[in-house]
Amino acid sequence: MSRPVGLTGGIGSGKSTAAGFLARLGAVVVDADEISRELTAAGGAALPALREAFGGRLVPPGGALDRAAMRALAFSDPVARGRLEAILHPMIRDESARRLAAAPGPYCLLVVPLLLESGSWAQRVERVVVVDLAERLQVERTCARSGLAPAQVRAIMAAQWPRWRRLQAADDVLWNGGTPEELRTQCERLHGRLAAGPR
């Protein structure tokens, strides 16, 4: 089995971009958000439980989860967020574990936005890579990508660990405050170290 390496960062930090660079270099990537989207797409395994918990408005019959409406509800209602997490998180963890166990190569990248916030994820990895950038850039990039208002982005950021705490927990840091080319170069160096084995 490959060594599990966690990759995380705040919203808009560039986790997917960094994971994409590492995947092109040969890393196997297991992305918790991608698994979540599969589980909540039309026909996804999580839909029956989500429909029972939240009703047909958020999970219409034969359709997918209304992710935008669910996100708005989850960030405004802690009880709803807890119900959502109780359904999705065990399913995501089980599927992630299955993919990690089947991964070839010297290491496998587990991409989880809340890797550090939820202790069970952090216990599954041998190293933690944090994609970092200034909070101002997080807000700008997330607004440009998603169409969310700055206040909505800051509310999501408030539910995540602050930068300083993520950085304290990091074994490796990828700085994404510059150009994509600069991030790619850092990913090449990181891949070389991870592919070489434990240090």
Task: Kindly report, residue by residue over 33-56, the tens digit of the pLDDT.
Answer: 999 999 999 999 999 999 999 988
pLDDT band, very low/low/confident/very high, at 21 (cuts 50, 70, 90): very high
DSSP 116: T
Q: Is 39 helix (H, G, I), strand (E, B) or coil?
A: helix
Give buried/exposed letters for 111-135 (b at 16+ CB in 10 A, else e).
Answer: bbbebbeeeebbeebebbbbbbbee
Predicted local confidence at residue 24, as pLDDT? 96
- Mean residue pLDDT across the chain: 92
Quick: pLDDT tens for 83-103.
999 999 999 999 999 999 999
Domain boundaries in the chain?
Answer: 3-195
Q: What is d(CA 139, CA 1) in angstroms, rounded to the nearest whole number?
A: 37
pLDDT of residue 1: 65
Which CATH number describes the domain made up of 3-195?
3.40.50.300
Using DSSP's 3-state secondary structure scheme, residue 55 falls into: coil
Asked if residue 10 has pLDDT above 80, the reply is yes
pTM: 0.89
Instruction: Sort strands 28-31 and 107-111 into parallel, antiparallel or unpaired.
Output: parallel
User: Does 114 or 177 have the greater pLDDT score?
Assistant: 177
Place of tokens 């070489």: 196
Q: Which residues are bridge partners to 30 per DSSP? A: 110
In this prediction, residue 76 carries a pLDDT of: 82
Helix axes 67-76, 78-102, angle to 10 degrees: 120
Tell me the residue type at 3: R
